[in-house]
Amino acid sequence: MTRTHIGTLKEKIGEEVTLMGWVDIRRDQGKLIFIDFRDASGKVQMVALPFHKEAHASASMVRPEWVLEVTGKVNARPEKNINANEMNGTVEIEILAVTVLNEAETPVFDIRGEGTEIGEEVRLKHRYLDLRRPRLQKNIRNRHKVLQLIRNWLTEKDFIEIETPLLAASTPEGSRDYIVPSRLEQGKFYALPQSPQQFKQLLMTAGMERYFQVARCMRDEDTRGDRQPEFTQLDMEMSFVSQEEVIQMNEALLIKVVQTLYPEKRIQQIPFPRLTYNEAMEKYGNDKPDMREDKNDPNLLAFCWVVDFPFFEKTDEGGWTFSHNPFSAAKPAHTELLSAKKDIGTILTTQYDVALNGYEIGGGSIRNHNPELLKNVFEIMGYSDERIETNFGHMLRAFASGTPPHGGIAWGFDRLMMLLENEPNIREVMAFPKTGEGKDLMLNAPSTVSPEQLTELGLSVVKK
C-alpha cells in the first residue's frame, strides 16, 4: 500500500492508510494503547484496540522514537474527544497492523520540549536527536522556505545562481583564513573562502551582469552568539547599478520575505530609515543601531540602512586599513582624494549596511572597478608592489580588461533567520553548527590525522 503522510489525514476519513514515522509518546491504558505518531508532515493520535490482537500486542512492545510502519483506519473522533488545537485533532487512527522498521535506544534527552533546559554541548553531540524537536524542525523548514522565496524572487529579476570555488588563494581581506595543504604542490596551500568577493566581481567582468549565490563562508575567528566558523551568506552582485538601486532592491526583497512568510511580524518603518555612519555613532553609539520603539515586542522588526562609512581607519601601528572592504569605491565626491592619496581619514566609501534590531544582517558597496584606484587603496594600506601583484594582480588585470561599474551586497543569512525565528543565537537555525569554541562534538572535529596523511602532504605537527 502507498504511504500516506500524516499531514493529509483529514482528507482520508473512513479510508485505510499506511503511515511511516516515529513513536512520539506511548500511553498504555491496558485495553487501549494510545500512540502519538509523527512524520515530517505532522502528528496524529493512534489507538490499538484489544480485538485487533496482533496489532495490540505489537503496540504494547513499542517505545518512544521507534520507527514504525502502521496500517490503520482513519476515524473521525467523537465530538467530546475533538481537540481543535491539534493538527489532527478531529481524527484518530485505529491501528490494524504494526511493523517495526527500527528500534531505538532511550533518547539521552527529551526531544519534545524546547530543549533550552539541556546543556548545549549535550544537544550538539547528539544533534541528530536534537533536530527532531518541533522547534528546530520549524526553524530548519522555515529556513528552506525563506531561501526558496529568495531564489524565486531573484530569478524573476534576471539573476542567475552561480557556484564559486571553495578552494582559492589566501588573501589579506580581513579575518584569518582556514588553509588547506596541497598534496601535489607540497608547501603550498589553498584557502577556504571568507566570502566569494573576488569571484563575484570577476563574474561582473565576465558579463554575467546579475549573480547570486547561497554561499558557504569560512572565517577562523573567535565565535559568539551570532557568529560561527562557517556560515551562510546570501551573496549578490549587479552590473550597471547605483547605490540607490541596490538598496531599493534588497529592501523590497526583505519586505517580501517578512510579509509573505512571517505575517505575524510588523516592520516598524517602510521605507527603512537611513542614517549616516556619523549619525548612527552619535545617536546610538554603534553602526548597527537597535531602533525598535518597543524592545519587549518579539514580533517588531526595525530595519535601517547605514551609509557614508569612512573608507579607511587607523591600525594599532599607526597605518591605514580598510574599514569594510578594499574593493569598495569611494563616494564620487571623494574619488579625487583617493586618486591623489591625500586626506585619507576624510574619504568616505559607498559602503551600505542594513541592520535589524541591533544586528548587522547585510553589507555591500558599489565596487571600485578602476584598476589604478584599486591599486591606490592597497598602496595607502602600505602594500608593496610585489605584494599587490601577488595577492591582487589578477583583479587589476581583470578590471583593466573592460569591467563594468558594479555593486552588490551579502546578507548574513543565519543572523537574519535567528531574528525572524526569535532565537537567541544562530546555532538554533543551523542544522549542524559548531560550539562556541568552534568544535563539532558530534563528529569530534577538529581531530588529529594519521602520520601517513601528514607525510603525504609534506607536513609535520609541532606541539607547543
Paired residues of 330 in beta bridges: 349
Among candidate residues 102, 121, 154, the one where a domain is terminated: 102
The predicted pLDDT at position 65 comes to: 97
Asked if residue 442 belongs to a domain, the reply is: no
The predicted pLDDT at position 175 comes to: 79
Q: Counting beta carbons within 10 angstroms of the beta carbon of residue 216, is it exposed (0 to 12), middle (13 to 18) or buried (19 or more)?
A: middle
Mark whether 30 and 75 lie in a shared domain. Answer: yes
Mark whether 62 and 144 lie in a shared domain. Answer: no
What domain range includes position 280? 135-429
Would you say residue 174 has pLDDT above 90?
A: no
Cell reading at 12: 482520508
Please compute Rg for the chain using Cα positions. 28
Of all residues in the chain, the percent with pLDDT exceeding 70 is 98
321-342 per-position pLDDT tens digit:
888 889 999 999 999 999 999 9
Mark whether 97 and 146 lie in a shared domain. Answer: no
Asked if residue 443 belongs to a domain, the reply is: no
Mark whether 209 and 315 lie in a shared domain. Answer: yes
- Is the Cβ–Cβ distance between 2 and 18 less than 8 Å? yes
Q: How far apart are CA 168 and CA 216, in angstroms?
A: 13
- Is the Cβ–Cβ distance between 323 and 311 less than 8 Å? yes
- Is the Cβ–Cβ distance between 409 and 362 less than 8 Å? yes
Mark whether 225 and 278 lie in a shared domain. Answer: yes
Asked if residue 244 belongs to a domain, the reply is: yes
Asked if residue 453 belongs to a domain, the reply is: no
The predicted pLDDT at position 315 comes to: 87
Asked if residue 62 belongs to a domain, the reply is: yes
Mark whether 236 and 354 lie in a shared domain. Answer: yes
- Is the Cβ–Cβ distance between 409 and 236 less than 8 Å? yes
pLDDT band at 452, cuts 50/70/90?
Answer: very high
242-262 per-position pLDDT tens digit:
999 999 999 999 999 999 999
Q: How far apart are CA 33 and CA 53, in angstroms?
A: 12
The predicted pLDDT at position 376 comes to: 95
pLDDT band at 463, cuts 50/70/90?
Answer: confident
Can you give the length of the chain in residues?
464
Asked if residue 201 belongs to a domain, the reply is: yes
Mark whether 402 and 270 lie in a shared domain. Answer: yes
Would you say residue 357 has pLDDT above 80?
A: yes
42-100 per-position pLDDT tens digit:
999 999 999 999 999 999 999 999 999 999 999 999 888 899 889 999 999 999 999 99
Would you say residue 173 has pLDDT above 60?
A: no
The predicted pLDDT at position 1 comes to: 67
Mark whether 80 and 144 lie in a shared domain. Answer: no
Would you say residue 416 has pLDDT above 90?
A: yes
Asked if residue 345 belongs to a domain, the reply is: yes
Of all residues in the chain, the percent with pLDDT exceeding 90 is 89
The predicted pLDDT at position 223 comes to: 66
Asked if residue 121 belongs to a domain, the reply is: no
Average pLDDT value for residue range 294-298? 94
Mark whether 204 and 297 lie in a shared domain. Answer: yes
Q: Counting beta carbons within 10 angstroms of the beta carbon of residue 252, is it exposed (0 to 12), middle (13 to 18) or buried (19 or more)?
A: middle
359-403 per-position pLDDT tens digit:
999 999 999 999 999 999 999 999 999 999 998 999 999 999 999
CATH (domain of 316): 3.30.930.10
> What are the CA-CA distances from residue 249 to residues 73, 271, 329, 451 (Å)?
51, 12, 20, 52
Mark whether 63 and 164 lie in a shared domain. Answer: no
Question: What is the 3 state secondary structure string of the chain?
Answer: CCECCHHHHHHHCCCEEEEEEEEEEEEECCCCEEEEEEECCEEEEEEECCCCHHHHHHHHHCCCCCEEEEEEEEEECCHHHCCCCCCCCCEEEEEEEEEEEECCCCCCCCCCCCCCCCCHHHHHHCHHHHCCCHHHHHHHHHHHHHHHHHHHHHHHCCCEECCCCCCECCCCCCCCCCEEECCCCCCCEEECCCCCHHHHHHHHHCCCCEEEEEEEEECCCCCCCCCCCEEEEEEEEEECCCHHHHHHHHHHHHHHHHHHHCCCCEECCCCCCEEEHHHHHHHHCCCCCCCCCCCCCCCEECEEEEECCECEEECCCCCEEECCCCCECECHHHHHHHHHCCCHHHCEECCEEEEECCEEEEEEEEECCCHHHHHHHHHHCCCCHHHHHHHHHHHHHHHCCCCCCEEEEEEEHHHHHHHHCCCCCHHHHCCCCCCCCCCECCCCECCCCCHHHHHHHCCCCCCC
The predicted pLDDT at position 464 comes to: 79
Greatest Cα pair distance, the chain, in angstroms, is 92
> What are the CA-CA distances from residue 373 to residues 92, 184, 448 (Å)?
71, 37, 45
Mark whether 340 and 386 lie in a shared domain. Answer: yes
Mark whether 66 and 198 lie in a shared domain. Answer: no
Q: How many structural domains does the chain have? A: 2
The predicted pLDDT at position 224 comes to: 67
CATH (domain of 37): 2.40.50.140
Average pLDDT value for residue range 268-291? 97
Would you say residue 278 has pLDDT above 60?
A: yes
Strand 160-161 to 210-218 pairing: parallel
